[in-house]
Amino acid sequence: MNLSFQTSSLKSVKADAVVYFIEESKTTFKKRIAELRKLFGKRIDHIIELENFTGKDSESLSILTEGKLASPRLLLIGLGDEKKLTIEKFRRAAARSAKQAKGMKLKHVAMVLPEASETITDVELAKALAEGAYLSLYKYDKYLTENKEKKNVAQLTLVSEKKEIEKEINKVLREVKFVCEAVYLTRNLENAPGNELYPESLAQIAKESAQKFGYRCTVWDKKKIQEMKFGGLLAVNSGSERPPRFIILEHNAGKKNLETIVLVGKGITFDAGGISIKPASGMGEMKMDMSGAAAVIGTMEAVARLKVPVHVIGLIPSTENLLGGAAMRPGDIITHYGGKTSEVDNTDAEGRLVLADALAYASIYKPKAVIDLATLTGACVVALGHYATGMMGNDDELMSKLKTAGEATYERVWQLPMYDEYEKLIKSDVADVKNVGGRWAGAITAGFFLKKFIGKYNWVHLDIAGTAILEEDLPYAPKGGSGVGVRLLVEMLKGWKTK
């Protein structure tokens, strides 16, 4: 979708529909209707009374403009209580209007920029509207050959009479487009089935993105992974015909005076559980077990296009977790990169095994911070559902940065405790650590397993099992892969202080 700004009015902007946002609160509601009355006369009062439109944040109303406006349709969209307006409310209102326009098969939608307030600026409004609209129009329809909706909104124009904000708004719209395209890429990777997306094809797509947008991509094949002694990645891969890959991405390579941040993404392209096989019901969702990897690729693409002044490394250990004759067994002991050992008590706790190698390896970059993203545990979904990412780590400042970015983007994170007591749950009699911790606190014991392998750096683990894989639609993310992590990390990296 193309995003643009136009200095214009509700009356004179020309699109298939023009969206006008209306607050529910009495005096403001009256003020908005009075504006419309100037254009439509008394007819507007009749319509809103007949349709019982009051500006609630669930309401929308489409009106034919009959030549009173340059656009043939006016779409009134309720914002709800004016005192409770937040950036997220604007994202959702824009999403609602965009989806409605799509339903009406409209190509070009204009939105009148709502009034800025003391707490929300014009630029923030424009960003929220464009984001909400853009993200809500996503659909994974690659494999639909019948009933495929061919039309989608192709143009969104934000409209304001304030000429002076044009430059700033255009700048932010360009950024929104880059970020939303990265979220689309991440969602496409998540939703791609396991027969299309496997370690080699994932690496190929990362390579193409890197080439296109000017960041670096190095891919290790199985031989190199063996040479490097990535025992966790090789053990998980052993039940699979398809070889593993280790993908290394780099933005701002070789630039001095920039701090280094390493992002690590779990890249299990399909997780059957291995010999500790998962139940059949719902197993297909495990094609999305590479959502951490997808978020890292999306983030790298976005920060490269935005030229964010940070040195960012992306590390992706990728394999399937299947059950071939050579598969790892419960009871096996693995030697990871760096030499630490782990006992495999359950082959379905495979994510931590591949992340262990990557986290240990991350030390070579002497990073300021390492953040890993992984659809790591069902326990995290039980604890937080689909509305918050589980967060653990060893550095309060880094966690607070992520918390702030999470509130700003609405990709919210929630910290789980790393109290000492949990650590004994993953003690092993025969190796340095055991890969499962029993029934309780499964998200936390997984975090402790990872902690065993980190180097001397600040680290945060994000368990995105619930937030990446959606079982039903959210306001601007349809069921399936959500693309979570991209907006969160881009927001954090944009705000990263320079050295």
Name the residues annotated as catalytic. Answer: 278, 352
Do 232 and 314 contact (CB within 8 A), yes or no?
no
Q: Which does 179 bind (CB under 5 to 8 A by kind): ligand BES, Mn ion, Zn ion, none?
A: none
Q: Is the Cβ of residue 79 or residue 374 nearer to ligand BES in the bound state?
A: 374
Q: Give residue 258's identity as a one-letter amino acid code.
A: L
The enclosing H or E element of 180 equals helix 166-191
Q: Is 305 helix (H, G, I), strand (E, B) or coil?
A: helix
Cα within 13 Å of Cα(69), Cβ side: 29
Q: Give residue 373's identity as a one-letter amino acid code.
A: L
Considering only the stretches 186-194, 237-245, 263-271, 291-299, report the one whose residues sit in contact with Mn ion under the rule CB under 5 A.
Answer: 263-271
What residues make contact with ligand BES under the rule CB under 6 A? 271, 289, 346, 348-351, 375-379, 381, 436, 442, 465, 469
Residue 394: both structure tokens together: 């060893």
Q: Which does 469 bind (CB under 5 to 8 A by kind): ligand BES, Mn ion, Zn ion, none?
A: ligand BES
Q: Residue with CB nearest ligand BES?
A: 378
What residues make contact with Zn ion under the rule CB under 5 A? 268, 271, 289, 351
CB of 286: closest distance to Zn ion in angstroms?
Answer: 7
Q: What is the DSSP string of 287-302?
A: GGTTHHHHHHHHHHHH
Q: Which residue has the tokens 């359950």?
A: 346
Residues in contact with 173: Cβ distance below 8 Å, sequence separation at least 6, in sequence order: 3, 4, 5, 126, 130, 158
Q: Is the Cβ of residue 367 or residue 447 nearer to ligand BES in the bound state?
A: 447
CB of 474: closest distance to ligand BES in angstroms?
Answer: 16
Q: Is the Cβ of residue 72 or residue 378 nearer to Mn ion in the bound state?
A: 378
Number of H-type helices and E-type strands within the chain? 15, 20
Measured CA to CA, the distance from residue 55 to residue 224 in angstroms comes to 61
Q: Which does 346 bind (CB under 5 to 8 A by kind): Mn ion, Zn ion, ligand BES, none?
A: ligand BES
The secondary structure of residue 433, as a DSSP letter, is E
Q: How many residues in the shown chain lie near Mn ion by CB under 5 A?
A: 3
Do 104 and 19 contact (CB within 8 A), yes or no?
no
Q: Which does 436 bind (CB under 5 to 8 A by kind): Mn ion, ligand BES, Zn ion, none?
A: ligand BES
Decide: is 24 part of the binding site for Mn ion (CB under 5 A).
no
Q: Site mask, Mn ion, residues 342-361, x = CB under 5 A?
A: ------x-x-----------
Strand 480-481 relative to strand 469-470: parallel, antiparallel, unpaired? Answer: antiparallel
Burial letters 89-108, b for 16+ CB under 10 A, else e: bbbbbbbbbbbbbbeeebeb
CB of 98: closest distance to Mn ion in angstroms?
Answer: 36
Q: Is the Cβ of residue 259 or residue 285 nearer to Mn ion in the bound state?
A: 285
Do 4 and 14 contact (CB within 8 A), yes or no?
no
Q: Residue with CB nearest Mn ion?
A: 348
Q: Which does 57 bind (CB under 5 to 8 A by kind): Zn ion, ligand BES, Mn ion, none?
A: none
CB of 465: closest distance to ligand BES in angstroms?
Answer: 4
Decide: is 271 part of the binding site for Mn ion (CB under 5 A).
yes
The enclosing H or E element of 459 equals strand 459-463
Decide: is 320 part of the binding site for Mn ion (CB under 5 A).
no
Measured CA to CA, the distance from residue 260 to residue 365 in angstroms comes to 7
Q: Which does 320 bind (CB under 5 to 8 A by kind): Zn ion, ligand BES, Mn ion, none?
A: none
- List contacts with Mn ion (CB under 5 A): 271, 348, 350
